[in-house]
Chain A
Amino acid sequence: MLSKNELRVLSHLRTNSRMTLSEIAYRTSLSVSNIHSIVKKLGRVVEKHVSLLDFQSLGFPLKVHFALSAYNKKALKYFLLNHSSINSLSSVMAKMNDSYFDNPYDYYFEAIFKNFVELEDFKKRLEIYDIIKSDEHLVVEDLKKEEFKAQKASMSTKK
């Protein structure tokens, strides 16, 4: 469990992880040395600091979410872990309404592409892994991203 001050500092890092320790100190009225020690302790719950990108503005307008199950799970996992288009990958189990599938999904991932040709090419490559079941959702718009325990009015560097 995080303390009240740890949560306060974390909320600032969630909102802008490039914020300096002195800026966090100013906003929280805690000393810089206290902030320094809190940030060090938060290392146990922070996996990494990352800049979230607008992929569309970088020339990658297609973001697709997939859920897959496959006979060839291990090879599929290796393929997805190493594929440059895969932004995020989780192992999952699925439930539809109130019942579990007999063959639950194995993986849920987010993939980024320049165009539909790249997307179709990627889907063709997936076929060799003996896909049992697949769901696919094109992301039309990001409405909220990594806001859990962030400041209420999330600061975005984007115009």
Chain B
Amino acid sequence: MFKMKEKDLKIISHLRRDARMPLTKMSKSSGIPVSTIFDRLKVNAEDFIVKHTCLLDFSKMGYHTRANIVFKVSNEDKESFRSFMIKHSSINSLYKINNGFDFMAEGVFKHIKDMEEFIELVESEFRVEDKKYYYIVDDLKREGFLTKEEPSFF
């Protein structure tokens, strides 16, 4: 486990607010020298950064239906279901979960009809024992954890 220090939290919180922030700007804002930021990231980033990405406004791209869908799948189909969902281009994120279900998939679709067709395909290919949908109406907060330097984190 990576032991986070105060400097690391400052660097992380900047990257969480804007992953494209130049190191010079980060240095000015945090008071940490550029060389230190560079070294900390070079040595430690692989330990805790999964990737730098950009979050999308899917509806502005023409994708008006988003849902978090939890699935319970028969044991025999779990592995193939997992592979299918990992490869499927409509699945933005996928998690293995517990508490009565096996997977949570965040699906992104142009229309609700596309989502319904996707679910029909999934149910025809795999033994889905149970499912539940949570249609996303509005994003209120996205990737907000560790965007602020909270002392309670230590």
Interface residues of A (CB under 8 A from B): 1-2, 10, 13-18, 44-60, 65, 67, 77, 80-81, 84-97, 105, 107-109, 112, 135-150, 154-159
Q: For A137, give the chain B residue with the smallest CB separation.
A: B97
Contact of A148 among B56, B132, B140 (CB under 8 A): B56
Residues of A within 8 A of B4 (CB): 58-59
Q: 5 other contacts beyond A17-B52, A94-B132, A148-B108, with CB at 8 A cut-off?
A: A10-B56, A47-B57, A50-B142, A96-B133, A148-B89
Residues of B within 8 A of A17 (CB): 19-20, 52-54
Residues of B within 8 A of A50 (CB): 15-19, 52-55, 142-143
Residues of B within 8 A of A157 (CB): 45-46, 49-52
Residues of A within 8 A of B95 (CB): 65, 139-143
Chain B residues numbered 1-54 whose CB sits less than 8 Å from any CB in chain A:
1-4, 12, 15-20, 45-54
Residue contact B136 to A90, C-beta cutoff 8 Å: yes
- Given contacts A49-B20, A88-B142, whether A18 and B52 have CB atoms under 8 Å apart is yes
Contact of A90 among B97, B140, B146 (CB under 8 A): B140
Residue contact B94 to A144, C-beta cutoff 8 Å: yes
Residues of B within 8 A of A60 (CB): 145
Distance (whole angstroms) from the CB of B58 to the closest CB of chain A: 8
Residue contact B1 to A59, C-beta cutoff 8 Å: yes
Distance (whole angstroms) from the CB of A149 to the closest CB of chain B: 7
A105–B104 Cα gap in the complex (Å)? 16
Residues of B within 8 A of A96 (CB): 132-133
> Residue B111 at the A interface, CB < 8 A?
no
Contact of B49 among A54, A86, A143 (CB under 8 A): A54
Distance (whole angstroms) from the CB of A125 to the closest CB of chain B: 14
Residue contact A67 to B20, C-beta cutoff 8 Å: no
Contact of B145 among A67, A84, A92, A138 (CB under 8 A): A84
Residues of B within 8 A of A147 (CB): 91-93
Residues of B within 8 A of A140 (CB): 95-98
Q: For B92, give the chain A residue with the smallest CB separation.
A: A148
Residue contact A46 to B57, C-beta cutoff 8 Å: yes
Residues of B within 8 A of A84 (CB): 145, 148, 150, 152
- Given contacts A65-B104, A140-B98, whether A87 and B143 have CB atoms under 8 Å apart is yes
Residues of A within 8 A of B92 (CB): 144, 146-148
Distance (whole angstroms) from the CB of A50 to the closest CB of chain B: 5
A12–B137 Cα gap in the complex (Å)? 28
